Amino acid sequence: MADPLLDFLSDGLPSSLTERGSDNAAAASTYLSRLTSLSFNDIVNNEPAALKSSHHSVNLSLQSLASRSYQSFISSSEQLSTIPTALDKLNDSIETLKSHLPALDAHLTEFSKKYHKSSPALQERTRKHTLARTFPKLLDILELPTLLQSAISSSNPSLALDIHSHVRRLYQLYPNTPIIASVTRECDALLQVLNTQLLTTLRGPLKLPAAIKTIGYLKRTSPSIAPGEEVWGSIFLVARLSFLNSLFQALDPLRELADAEREEWAKSQTAANGDSNRKSKSTGHQTERYLKRWIEVFREQSFAIVTMYRAVFPPSGSTTTNLASAYLAPQTPVTPNIRRRSVVSADGDAGDGSDTPSPLVTFVPHLVAMLTSTLKNYLPVVSDKSAKESLLTQMLYAAGSLGRLGGDFGMILATGLLGVGGAGSEDSAEGGDWVEVMQKHRVLAERLEELAAGKGIRSPSASPLLS
């Protein structure tokens, strides 16, 4: 809105104050509006002093601003002075860039023609980039044989089998990858070392939890050996038999003394055939020591082996359970219940005839054959009656111990496997000693039963076994 007073005074004022729309004209119009609102006395007496004060305040503000920002003013002035030169240089650079654009375009065209998606150079670069990106994974795969070897060395079959299973899964996923195939071959070779280690464990001192774990590990290391339990049972029994033989070999110092004593006894027997009045000088003391230790080992280990076998390989049915008893039934004093089930199983009426026999069917008779062979060789050398009875009692306990598992061999020893012959022979005397020991044992058993029943103790002369 135009100010009439400002227009009236325009001829006497500077053009900067009268220019329409300028900040100075707006300020002048505002001041004139203020003047018209004042009285004449205020304008004459007070306004000059107010103007002088405002002028002084503005001067002070300008001085303060100049003092604070003079460096910025100088820098701005210098920068403003260089702007024309910089603009000239920019124009020259733009012209130079325009002159080089055709050559750059030609090089770009050549590059795009040479390095396209299917070019060998880009494919090689992609391959190297993929290798760099997957290098940690490849390193982990290449370290798998080392980890497997460490697990085997530290006797950690569970970890070793987990690592090998992982390698086999990788091979199933990537059968045509050379690295995977190489790692798989190396791990398979190391698995054979683990297999040997597990078999060595079976051939050493072993407890039931370790035996169950070891057989489980062996089944995982060699899953293609056999679908059933019979082969693993045979491997287990062969390994434990090897351990039993190693215990017998530990008795070699005693066996050597017993062999020397047996040779001396054989010579004395030969000489006695020529001279009936000559008696043997050998008492069989060393032989008795050797047999005592041998029978102790046999009793403990045979019971442990069969018990452990039945725990590691539990029977799937009654047929397999009673096959060993059926084999020994004609020669072994088993209970009527077991004998009846054994005969039925042997006839095939209570089981499937296609079932594979348990390895115990041949293992237990083999143990008995080892015992009878040792007794045939060394028992005749023992001439002391009390020592011989002690050995026979020890064998009776061994027969009873194994008999609780269906392998009582007491009657086998009494019916010929000890070489019991006709009346009057030495073997017949040994057979008589065995029968006498069995009779005494049964009398003691009857007395214990009577005590348990509260009937008192019966005189030994009243026993029909001693009549």
pLDDT tens string 373-386: 888 888 888 887 78
For residues 237, 239, 240, 244, the Cα torsion angle rounded to the nearest 10 degrees is 130
DSSP 96-137: HHHHHHHHHHHHHHHHHHHS-TT-HHHHHHHHHHHHHHHHHH
Residue 250 — pLDDT band, cuts 50, 70, 90?
Answer: very high
Assess contact for 219 and 200: CB atoms under 8 A: no
Q: What is the spatial distance between Cα 307 and Cα 309, in angstroms, rounded to a whole number? A: 5
Could you give the C-alpha distances from 260 to 162, 263, 295, 374, 387, in angstroms and in order?
55, 5, 20, 15, 19
Q: What is the spatial distance between Cα 6 and Cα 48, in angstroms, rounded to a whole number? A: 20
Eight-class DSSP state of 356: P
Residue 1: count other Cβ atoms within 10 Å of its Cβ: 3
Could you give the C-alpha distances from 30 to 9, 14, 23, 41, 54, in angstroms and in order?
14, 16, 11, 20, 15
Q: What is the spatial distance between Cα 224 and Cα 202, in angstroms, rounded to a whole number? A: 20
Pick the range with the lowest mean pLDDT from 240-249, 399-408, 432-441: 432-441
pLDDT computed for residue 122 by the predictor: 81
Assess contact for 411 and 331: CB atoms under 8 A: yes
Residue 280 — pLDDT band, cuts 50, 70, 90?
Answer: low
First CA to last CA distance, the chain: 157
By CB neighbour count within 10 A (0-12 exposed, 13-18 middle, 19+ buried), where does 390 fall? middle
The answer to whether residue 102 scores a pLDDT higher than 70 is yes
**What are the boundaries of each domain within the chain?**
4-82, 125-207, 239-418, 430-467
Q: State pLDDT tens for residues 412-467.
A: 666 654 543 333 444 444 456 666 766 676 676 667 677 777 654 444 444 333 33
Residue that is written with structure tokens 């050597």 in the block: 256
Eight-class DSSP state of 415: I
Residue 162 — pLDDT band, cuts 50, 70, 90?
Answer: very high
- C-alpha 418: how far from its chain's center? 50
Residue 93 — pLDDT band, cuts 50, 70, 90?
Answer: very high
pLDDT computed for residue 321 by the predictor: 40
Read off the pTM.
0.59
Eight-class DSSP state of 358: P
Could you give the C-alpha distances from 287 to 254, 255, 264, 282, in angstroms and in order?
8, 8, 12, 10
Q: With the C-alpha atoms ordered 189, 195, 201, 203, is the resulting torsion angle positive or negative?
A: negative
The answer to whether residue 84 scores a pLDDT higher than 70 is yes
Tell me the Cα Rg of the chain: 56
Could you give the C-alpha distances from 255 to 194, 286, 291, in angstroms and in order?
36, 8, 9
Structure tokens given for 275: 């001279």
Residue 333 — pLDDT band, cuts 50, 70, 90?
Answer: very low
How does the average pLDDT of the chain come out, rounded?
A: 76
Assess contact for 115 and 122: CB atoms under 8 A: yes
Assess contact for 338 and 322: CB atoms under 8 A: yes
Q: With the C-alpha atoms ordered 269, 270, 274, 280, is the resulting torsion angle positive or negative?
A: negative
% of the chain residues with pLDDT over 70: 73
Own/partner long-range contacts of 139-142 (Cβ < 8 Å, ≥24 apart): 141/170, 141/179, 141/180, 141/183, 142/179, 142/183
Helices (H), strands (E): how many in the chain? Answer: 19, 0
pLDDT computed for residue 244 by the predictor: 92
Structure tokens given for 246: 């190693």
Q: With the C-alpha atoms ordered 168, 170, 173, 178, is the resulting torsion angle positive or negative?
A: negative
Q: State pLDDT tens for residues 339-378.
A: 333 333 333 443 344 456 778 888 888 888 888 888 888 8
